[in-house]
Chain A
Amino acid sequence: MEIIVTGVLLGGTYALIALGLTLQYGVARIMNLATGETFLAACFLAFWLFTAYAVNPFWGLAVIAPLAFVANWAIYLFLLQPLVNRAKDEAMLEVDTILATFGLLFLVQGLLLRTFGGAYMSYTFLAERFELFGSQYGLNRVVAFLAALLIAAALYVFLYRTRYGTAMRAVAGNPHSAHLVGIDVARMAGLAFALGGAITACGGTLLSTFYTFDASMGVVFTIKALIIVIMGGVGDVRGAAIAAVILGVTETAIASLVDPGLTLASTYALFTLVLLFRPQGIFGTRRS
Chain B
Amino acid sequence: MITRIRSRFGPEIVAVVLLLMAFGFSAFREPRFLDAEYLFDRSTLYMEAGILALSMTFVIIAGHIDLSVTSILALVGAICTTLVSKHGLPPAAMIIIAPVVGGALGALNGLLVSKGKLPSLVVTLATMALFRGVAQILLGDHSLPMPKELVGIHKIQLPGTYFHIPMVLLIILAVVAAAVLHRTVWGRWVTALGTNAEAARHAGIPTGKILIQLFTLSGVAAGIGSLLMLSRLGVARFDHARGLELDVITAVVLGGASIFGGRGTIFGTITALGLVGVVQTGMGVAGVKAEVQVAVIGLLLIVSVLFSNITARKRGR
Chains A and B bind each other: no
Binding site for B on A (CB under 8 A): none
Binding site for A on B (CB under 8 A): none
